[in-house]
Amino acid sequence: MTTAHSAAARPRAGRGDPALRAKHVRQRLRTAAFLSPWLIGFGVFFAYPLVSTVYFSFMKYDGFTAPTWVGLKNWSYVLGDYPFFWPALGNTLWLIAVMVSLRVVFGLGIGLLVTRLRTGGGLFRTLFYLPYLAPPVAATMSFVFLLNPGTGPANTVLAALGLPEPGWFNDPSWSKPSLTILALWCVGDLMVIFMAALLDVPKEQYEAAELDGAGPWQRFRYVTLPNISPIVLFAVVTGIIATMQYYTEPIVAAKVASGVIGGSGQQFEPGYPDRSTLTVPQIVYNLGFQRFDTGAACVVALVLFALAMVFTAFLMRRRSGFLSAED
Amino acid sequence: MTTTLTPAPSAVRTARGGGSAARRGARRRAALEWIAVHSLAVAAALFFLLPFVFVFLTAVMTDDQALTRELWPHTWEWGNFATVWNTPGFLTWWRNTLLYAGLGTVLAVASSIPVAYALAKFRFRGRGLAMMLVIATMMLPPQVVVVPMYLFWAKQLDLAGTLWPLIVPFAFGNAFTIFLLRQFMLTIPKEYTEAAKIDGCGEFRTMVRIVLPMARPAIAAVALFHFFYCWNDYFGPQIYASENPAAWTLSYGLESFKGAHQTDWNLTMAATVMIMAPVIVVFFLAQKAFVEGVTLTGVKG
């Protein structure tokens, strides 16, 4: 169903016929009317600020004095002198590599588990899903408490078992793994998506594989995985896109774990501990709203935009169903 | 959503008794598998449940006990919840959150419905492009455009320190809402809309009379998603409302609550419970709509 097709065919038929042409104009106006909320929204809240971001990326502007043209200086500052850019990019890539893949594996595992439960499936499903609903600020605060090195229940239990007690959110080498555990706790969205995919796998294929003597692993490898691989890919790509927006959890964790929360007059140390929880979206905030360096903030915003669009384009190509219009 | 794939393990068949050794073996394997799968499920349930349990137990401890490593409260301090409730500002945060989430959701859903309808049911040049742009805006990190947006709201409209910069844009369609509603409307057979048109309905009446009633589950799902999105939003209120505590929402205020009660983990956890609870209650009330919506997000491509 190509849209160009029907759209091109109509005006040709209508050419020269005033009644048909009037009808065509009416249809266009009607379409525009239905789309108008979004057309305005897209222009004012997306296209205009995006152009503006490009403009400001070449400007020096602190929000008070008039902006002045500085060429590529903001770019060289961000890529060269700004101490947070490379750590933030490194952390975001770490999270994409580790957090996204673990979440997909864990989500698939939980999905498989739930579809195999013959008793209490509904109860377990609800239980596994609940943490996903916890508001991120509340969930993060809970985990900073649970994992706090002094009195946290996690270390209390570890100590009772005679195991080492990590510094979790207060130790630069443990802070990202701690965030990853939090992300695994909130795996309910992937569980539901994988469950639906697993239940859609044709049962005859399993029966055929079993007749051929395939064991559980082989059935998973040669029947389940090929059937659900589009959903796995979908989970990975949307996971990557979500990770590029990963903001609330790391910034709240850093603030709460460092004990420096706005209002007390102390300057909060971004990425506490030791820049280990900085992510790319956080440095847009740091540059634009803490350092009042609009130009540099816009440079980082453009980097983020480019990254997000690459993965979005990939997703749209692989899942053309998003765009298709089988009506 | 049912998981009734196979009948429950062979309790019935065992009663029938006897059978060959091979069948006994199969039965034993099924029983072992049942035990293995359910043990795993219990272990996973502990991982998902224990954080809630410890948070709750700490929320009802005394100030002093919350500073120790003890896990079980000596006395149950239900008053902690009242203390949080009576904290100056807490009620304002509630009101602001309900305003942001409630008004934001109504506006977003109402303005997205005609857009989704047009993208699902009209044929026009540029529809593919429009759909692509909707998805692009959906995937875009909000930080990409936040700097000029802030300047726009703060410098030109002088609305910094309020929630309006977060609410007003929802009156102009929300990409995620448009996308989900459109995906659902595609599944409505065109015989319904065509029949309405033969009966003399215009597009608008067809949408309101025919499509909207059929799309009710999808609308419920996107409304829930949107409500939760606003309820959970931290970045938006941080950007636009942080300078004015009278405009804070629960998600943003919770952090400052922790700042004001540095060592009182019990009160902070009580506040955390009070912010999680409504979401979970709403979920149980609307579970079906919710799960349908989640599967709508991606699986049916």
Give A219's contacts in chain B (Cβ within 8 Å). Answer: none
User: Which of A48, A153, A288 lies nearest to residue B147, judging by beta carbons?
Assistant: A288
Q: What is the pLDDT of residues A271-323, one digit of tens each?
A: 989 999 999 999 999 999 989 999 999 999 999 999 999 988 888 877 655 55
Alpha carbon of B41: minimum distance to chain A alpha carbons (Å): 7
Q: Average of pLDDT values for B8-19? A: 47
- Shortest distance between the Cα of A262 and any Cα of chain B, in A, equals 7
Q: Which residue has the tokens 């691989």?
A: A229
B22 pLDDT exceeds 90?
no
Count other Cβ atoms within 10 Å, centred on residue B22: 8
Whether A158 has a pLDDT exceeding 80, the answer reads yes
Measured between beta carbons, which residues in chain B are less than 8 angstroms from residue A3?
123-128
Interface check B232 vs A, CB under 8 A? yes
Residue B10 pLDDT greater than 50, yes or no: no
Instruction: Classify residue B177 by burial, with Cβ atoms within 10 Å: 0-12, 13-18, 19+.
Output: buried
Query: Tell me, what's the pLDDT at A15?
Result: 58
φ, ψ of residue B8 in degrees (nearest 5): -55, 155
Residue A17 confidence (pLDDT) above 90: no
Q: Cβ separation of A141 and B255 shorter than 8 Å? A: yes
Instruction: Tell me if chain B has a CB within 8 Å of the CB of A246.
Output: no
Which among B48, B52, B147 has CB closest to A294? B147
Partner B contacted by A151 (CB < 8 A): yes
* Interchain contact A228–B (C-beta under 8 A): no
The alpha carbon of residue B144 is apart from the nearest alpha carbon of chain A, in Å, by: 4
Confidence of residue A120 (pLDDT cuts 50, 70, 90): confident
Residue B288 has pLDDT above 50, yes or no: yes
Query: B126 or A1, which is more confident?
Result: B126
- CATH H-level, domain B88-296: superfamily: MetI-like (1.10.3720.10)
CB contact under 8 A, A3 and B54: no
Choosing among A118, A178, A310, which should be mutated to test the B contact, i.e. which has the most B CBs within 10 A? Answer: A118
Model confidence over B218-277: pLDDT tens digits? 898 899 989 999 999 999 999 999 889 999 999 999 888 887 777 788 999 999 999 999
DSSP reduced 3-state for B76: coil
Mean pLDDT over residues B158-182, rounded?
A: 94
Q: Does B244 touch chain A (CB under 8 A)?
A: no
Mean per-residue pLDDT over chain A, rounded: 88
Domain map (residue ranges) of chain B: 20-82, 88-296
Inter-chain contact B275–A137, Cβ cutoff 8 Å? yes
* Interface contact B18, partner A, CB < 8 A: no
The average pLDDT across B65-82 equals: 88
Residue A133, chain B, CB below 8 Å: the answer is yes
For the cut 60, the answer to whether the pLDDT of residue B189 exceeds it is: yes
Please give the residue that has the higher pLDDT: either B288 or B271: B271
Asked whether the beta carbons of residue A305 and residue B144 sit closer than 8 angstroms, the reply is yes
CATH class of the region A77-322: mainly alpha
Across chain B, mean pLDDT equals 86
Which band of pLDDT confidence, cut at 50, 70 and 90, is reported for residue B216? confident
In this complex, is the C-beta atom of B281 within 8 Å of any C-beta atom belonging to chain A? no
Which residues in chain A are classed under CATH 1.10.3720.10?
77-322
**Confidence grade of residue B64 (pLDDT, cut at 50, 70, 90):** confident
Q: What is the pLDDT of residue B284?
A: 87
pLDDT tens-digit readout, A200-235: 899 999 999 989 988 889 999 999 999 999 889 889
Q: In this predicted structure, which of A29-38, A274-283, B164-173, B281-290 has the lowest mean pLDDT?
A: B281-290
- Across the interface, whether the CB atoms of A197 and B117 are under 8 A apart is answered no
Q: Choose the closest CB to A319 out of B1, B260, B301.
A: B301
DSSP state of B7: P
Q: Kindly state whether B269 is in contact with chain A, defined as any CB-CB distance less than 8 angstroms.
A: yes
Q: Is A65 on the interface with B (CB under 8 A)?
A: no
User: pTM for this structure?
Assistant: 0.88
Contact B118 A110 (CB under 8 A): no
B111 touches chain A (CB under 8 A): yes
Instruction: Output the 3-class SS for chain A.
Output: CCHHHHHHHHHHHHCCCHHHHHHHHHHHHHHHHHHHHHHHHHHHHHHHHHHHHHHHCCEECCCCCCCEECCCHHHHHHHHHCCCHHHHHHHHHHHHHHHHHHHHHHHHHHHHHHHHCCCCHHHHHHHHHHHHHCCHHHHHHHHHHHCCCCCCHHHHHHHHCCCCCCCHHHCHHHHHHHHHHHHHHCCHHHHHHHHHHHHCCCHHHHHHHHHCCCCHHHHHHHHHHHHHHHHHHHHHHHHHHHHHCCCHHHHHHHHHHHCCCCCCCCCCCCCCCCCCCCCHHHHHHHHHHHCCCHHHHHHHHHHHHHHHHHHHHHHHHHCHHHCCCCC
